[in-house]
Amino acid sequence: MAGILDSVDQRTQLVGENRLEILMFRLAGRQLFAINVFKVQEVLQMPKLTLMPQRHRFVCGVVNLRGQTLPVIDLSQAIGMRPLVPDERSTIIVTEYNRSVQAFLVGSVDRILNLNWESILPPPGGAGRQHYLTAITKVEDQIVEIIDVEKVLAEIVPMSTKVSAEKLADPLLEKARGREVLLVDDSSVALSQLRDTLTQLGIRLHMASDGLKALNLLKKWADSGEVMTDKLLMIFTDAEMPEMDGYRLTSEIRNDPRLKDLYVVLHTSLSGSFNEAMVKKVGCDNFLSKFQPDKLVDVIRQRLELDEAR
């Protein structure tokens, strides 16, 4: 396991190529699950686990890893499957999401696989753990379910979407009231967080669950004669999405003369080995790590300042 992520820092070359690498693993059965390798720091056997009083029911305890105390989350139980029983032979995946580091208890790790986002599809509708998936794919005739980790974490430690009174008092933000913004994200939790924050500014919102749906919507508006920079104040897009990721979406926008001047913000939980220089490569106007309501408002303000400067 120690060598499974040896080359993770070289994997940023996939950014902008509509490709990703997934780490596949099993939980309490034979079903394969996955998360993006970009968000994985390491895979290792469970260090000594310390129990905590009054911990969340999905949290097994905490471990100390090189001086850092990390919660260990039973990913199987968190997505509605039977709990795993942690012991010294258990496997954990250490990840970084939204500027926080945590470990997920899993049954076993399978392998890393390089895929094209076009082969990643939205999950089917339904109950149970389907609510905890952002996408599915097929590997050697077996379905692989890609977990919505943001949803799992939001249920354990809910994020505030409230904008500070000081930010809301800014008179320039009045110019955002009634303007339209397109939100693009495959996580229902992320879309809800954005919606709850931006509606405090009186902004009208459109939503798409992946880059391809967003691009089709933009082209539909442009085909109808809309001047896109008049219609949309800006676009917030996630990086990782089925069918078309946020980097490819941005590239497609820049290559369409009707869309090329739209203001695009990459809004992502990717961090750590994520290379911000690649954001500039595909032509994003701004970058924001999830989820920071006040900084989200700052980005809106920066966009409004451009209008003022004109």
The residue written with tokens 């692989």 in the block is: 144
* Domain 165-309 belongs in CATH node 3.40.50.2300: yes
State the maximum Cα–Cα separation within the chain, in Å, rounded to a whole number: 63
Q: Which of 7-16, 52-61, 165-174, 186-195 has the lowest mean pLDDT?
A: 7-16
Distance between CA atoms of residues 155 and 58, nearest Å: 10
- Summarised one tens digit per residue, pLDDT across range 130-152 is 689 988 999 999 999 999 998 99
Considering the chain, what is the average pLDDT of its residues? 88
N- to C-terminal Cα distance for the chain? 55
Bridge partners, 51 (sequence order) = none
> pTM for the complete prediction?
0.81
Per-residue pLDDT tens digits for 170-209 = 999 999 999 999 999 988 888 999 999 999 999 999 999 9
8 Å CB contact between 1 and 91: yes
Interval 278-303 mean pLDDT: 87
CATH number of 8-155: 2.40.50.180
Q: What is the per-residue pLDDT for 189?
A: 87
Higher pLDDT, 11 or 175: 175
Which residues in 216-225 are b (16+ Cβ under 10 Å) and which e?
eebbebbeee
**Scanning the structure block, which residue is given the tokens 């379910």?**
145
Q: Please give, one letter per residue, the 3-state secondary structure of the chain.
A: CCCCCCCHHHHHHHCCCCEEEEEEEECCCCCEEEEEHHHEEEEEECCCCECCCCCCCCEEEEEEECCEEEEEEEHHHHCCCCCCCCCCCCEEEEEEECCEEEEEEECEEEEEEEEEHHHCECCCCCCHHHHHEEEEEEECCEEEEEECHHHHHHHHCCCCCCCCHHHHCCHHHHHHCCCEEEEECCCHHHHHHHHHHHHHHCCEEEEECCHHHHHHHHHHHHHCCCCHHHHEEEEEECCCCCCCCHHHHHHHHHCCCCCCCCCEEEEECCCCCCCCHHHHHHCCCEEEECCCHHHHHHHHHHHHHHHHHC
The Cα–Cα gap between 209 and 195 comes to 13
β-pairing, 264-268 vs 232-237, is: parallel
Tell me: pLDDT of 99 over 90.
no
Bridge partners, 206 (sequence order): 182
pLDDT reported for residue 118: 83
Residue 239 pLDDT: 85
* Arithmetic mean of pLDDT, 80-96: 92
What gap in Å lies between CA 18 and CA 243, rounded to an integer?
A: 9
Cα gap 90→106, rounded to integer Å: 7
- Residue in 274, 265, 263 with CA at minimum distance from that of residue 296: 265
Establish whether domains 8-155 and 165-309 are of one fold: no
Q: Which residues pair with 284 in a beta bridge?
A: none
Residue 271 has a CB neighbour count (10 Å cut-off) of: 17
Distances (CA, A) of 146 to 12, 79, 229, 283: 20, 12, 35, 27
What are the domain boundaries of the chain? 8-155, 165-309
Distance (Å, whole) CA 4 – CA 173? 47
